Amino acid sequence: MAVVAERAFTSRSTLQKIEAGDTSVSIGIYASVLQALGLLDGLSQVADIANDSVGQALASADLPKSVHLRRSTGPSRDG
């Protein structure tokens, strides 16, 4: 733990907070720890929508089933 903390430029207590899932630890510290562990490449996958099937299903459910365009009854833009 001391070696990882040193390589991540953080303290052992912060590493303990990360292990405990403490939400007060910044994403920058997480990135530093992932870099120290050689796992930084996986960070980009965290927010990738392709990996979020639940989020995709929820977004699709919120889409309208059909769209109706309104026809204007006033004069056209062309004059």
Torsion 10-15-16-20 (CA) sign: positive
The runs of H, that is alpha helices, within the chain are 2-7, 12-20, 27-36, 53-62
The rounded distance, in Å, linking the Cα atoms of 36 and 10 is 11
Q: What is the pTM of this model?
A: 0.58
Assign 75 a pLDDT band (cuts: 50, 70, 90). low
For residue 79, pLDDT beyond 70: no
pLDDT tens string 20-70: 999 999 999 999 999 999 999 888 887 788 888 888 888 888 777 777 788
**For residue 26, what is the DSSP state?**
-
Assign 73 a pLDDT band (cuts: 50, 70, 90). confident
**What local confidence, expressed as pLDDT, does residue 41 receive?**
86
Taking CB atoms within 8 Å and a gap of at least 24, the contacts of 24-32 are 32/8
**What local confidence, expressed as pLDDT, does residue 14 receive?**
96
